[in-house]
Amino acid sequence: MRRLPRTTIRFLSVSLQALSYAILCIVAIIGQPVAGDEVPRRDRLHRQILEKRQAIFDGLQVDLESVETWCDKHELPEAIPQVEAIRQSLASPEPNFDPPRLVTTEVDGTLPLDEQQWRLQIQNHRRERGAELYSLARQALRNGFPSLAFSLISDVVRVDSDHKYARSVLGQLIFSDPQRKEEPGYAGEWVSQFEKQMRSGSKPQTFHPEFGWIPITSVSRYEEGLRPWKGGWISAEKEAEHRRDFRNAWEIPSEHFLVKTNVSLEVGLELSQKLELYYEWLQHHFAAFFETPAALQDRFDNATLRGSAQKRGPMELHFYAKRDEYQKRVEGKVPPNLETTGYYSQETRTTYFFMDRKERTLSTLFHEATHQILDIHTLEARRAAARARAQRTRQKPGDWGLGERSNFWIIEGLACYFESFEINDGKVSIGRPDHVRFVRAIERMTLPDDQFYLPSKEFLALGKNDFMHHPQVAPLYTQAAGFTHFLMHYEDGLYRDDLIALLAAIYRPDGDYILQEPSLARIAEVTHDAFDQQYRTHMQNLAEQLNVQPDESGVQTP
């Protein structure tokens, strides 16, 4: 075998080293977040889906206008205002749409033929456009935008309220109440599996607006002012005396919560209902946190009703009538020099509050409920991660601390963000720019005398200890709330799913990357410099909306 000259071998050695170095450089470049081609691609995909969504709604407007024209041609002047009202109600996507509960009845065959025809035309148009929106929702999910996909599912049931696949994705099925089956026009209701179980069986219950879930056979006694007590019935006044002692507190069960309170049944029921609405909102808008991508894809592709593979008891909340009762309960859990109005204990998995008459909002409730919901739903995943990490590092297993080494900002930032969750007449609003948390974030970024901003590369890397003991911890909380708002709302929610992916990586660590810290920049494929610039732009835009500026006296006012 012929041997290569020594110079040739040396040349090949140098060339291979150079090639290896080049490959390493390429790999390093690919592995880094980029702000060049990738961000426009994601942005483009996101915008394309939003444009298709609007195009479907525009097409529906054309469809309904054609029905108006048909009615005019067939001399049906009384039908035109009805069609116009439907068309106006479906002019564009509507956030936070609350779908109707009742199943739509078929067009009445006893109506005049012309009326049957225009109603059937509307029904067919709505079904066709609903099917298009459902296909678009599946496309959004495949392209990595689960939050947008669920928003499109809301569009589907708004356009076609009986779209069974969309309803199934929302965890709803048809229930026919035996108590109502004789009612004219009653074809059933869209309810959760929990509600169906409560209203079925040999001892069905009903949800009473004043008393919550109670047996149907007990409604008349409740309305007479009687209450069950130790196997018998006593007056509501007598019951209230017993319930003042928290050991005898009212217990208000719901699908996901158990509220205990010694304030009143009415207050407890109000808290319970608002917690359930908040939980439902989270399930729909943060679905990628609660379920794996594969599970979500299966829900959309197979449209099967979500089962309860992981059974867990209701989340417990204690609401005390007096501060001293609350203080006694959280003693030893909260630092003695820290005054709180609410607290979630990871030790007991329970949230504690008292009736603070100074606080007229439920911001603290939603803040602590956020901690509770996210923690309890991912507890087993973190225990498994702790065991896997101990195996990898050959150390004794311990607890998995949230945000211990980095990313602690999102733990508190998200809870602060959800303080803006509000419910008015059953409608949800969230992220309102004039909420105090966001006003302070705007001021910290835009007002020269009040500026504070830790660059995202440093800010996102802070672990719990460094964050909580930082000399500027209060401004860090403000920045955390502001940064969460930025990721939730910038460019129509461009980074919303990246925020949720980061949150899932922190609360539900991936066993394959157990020793690697999650990185928002890596998930979003965006540089930290780009984040800094976009956050600044977002805050400036909010400042312009609110006209945040110093007044003549130097006091900063929105």
Query: Residue 428: inside a domain, yes or no?
Result: yes
SS3 110: coil
Side chain identity at 80, as an amino acid letter?
I
Round to whole Å and give the CA distance between 414 and 485: 9
Please report the DSSP string for 274-303 in residue order: HHHHHHHHHHHHTHHHHS-HHHHHHHHHH-
Residue by residue, pLDDT tens for the chain (558 residues) are 434 344 343 333 334 344 443 433 433 333 444 444 445 687 889 999 999 999 999 999 999 999 999 999 999 999 999 999 999 999 888 766 788 999 999 999 999 999 999 999 999 999 999 999 999 999 999 998 998 999 999 999 999 999 999 999 999 999 999 888 889 889 999 999 999 999 998 999 999 999 999 999 999 999 999 999 999 999 999 999 999 999 999 999 999 999 999 999 999 999 999 999 999 999 989 999 998 888 888 888 876 555 444 457 899 999 999 999 999 999 988 877 788 899 999 999 999 999 887 777 899 999 999 999 999 999 998 988 888 888 888 888 778 889 999 999 999 999 999 999 998 887 889 999 999 999 999 999 999 888 999 999 999 999 999 999 999 999 999 999 999 999 999 998 999 999 999 999 999 988 777 888 999 999 999 999 999 999 999 999 999 999 855 444 333 333
| CB burial readout 353-376, b (16+ within 10 A) else e | bbbeeeeeebbbbbbbbbbbbbbb
Tell me if 123 sits within 8 A of 107, measured CB to CB: yes
Round to whole Å and give the CA distance between 177 and 507: 40
C-alpha distances in angstroms, 179 versus 103, 112, 191, 209, 311? 16, 31, 15, 18, 30
SS3 311: coil
| 292/434 same-domain check | no
- The pLDDT of residue 489 is 96
Q: Two tokens at 339?
A: 């005054």
Query: Residue 252: inside a domain, yes or no?
Result: yes
**Which burial class, exposed, middle or buried, applies to 97 when counting CB atoms under 10 A from its CB (0-12, 13-18, 19+)?**
middle
- The pLDDT of residue 39 is 53
| 414/370 same-domain check | no
Q: Two tokens at 153?
A: 């599912």
Helices marked H in 331-435: 363-377, 379-393, 408-417
Round to whole Å and give the CA distance between 285 and 272: 20
| 461/540 same-domain check | yes
| 108/160 same-domain check | yes
| 315/461 same-domain check | no
Round to whole Å and give the CA distance between 98 and 191: 13
| 94/165 same-domain check | yes
| 119/253 same-domain check | no
Q: Which of 170, 189, 214 is the last residue of a domain?
A: 170
- The pLDDT of residue 427 is 83
Please, which residues have CB within 8 angstroms of residue 197's CB and are 6 or more apart in sequence? none
| 416/313 same-domain check | no
Alpha-carbon dihedral 383, 388, 392, 398, rounded to 10 degrees: 20
Q: Find the CATH number of the domain harbouring 91.
A: 1.20.1260
Round to whole Å and give the CA distance between 378 and 382: 6
What is the helix (H) or strand (E) element at residue 429, kind and residue range? strand 427-429
Query: Residue 158: inside a domain, yes or no?
Result: yes
Query: Residue 417: inside a domain, yes or no?
Result: yes
Query: Residue 151: inside a domain, yes or no?
Result: yes
Please report the DSSP string for 448-475 in residue order: GGG-----HHHHTT--HHHHHT-TTHHH
Round to whole Å and give the CA distance between 508 and 384: 9
Provide the domain count of the chain: 3
Please report the DSSP string for 493-530 in residue order: TTTHHHHHHHHHHHHS--GGGTTS---HHHHHT--HHH
Determine the structural domain holding residue 139 and report its residue range.
Answer: 38-170
Q: Which of 170, 202, 233 is the last residue of a domain?
A: 170
| 404/541 same-domain check | yes
Angle ∠(372,197,181) on CA atoms, nearest 5: 135
Q: Find the CATH number of the domain harbouring 424.
A: 1.10.390
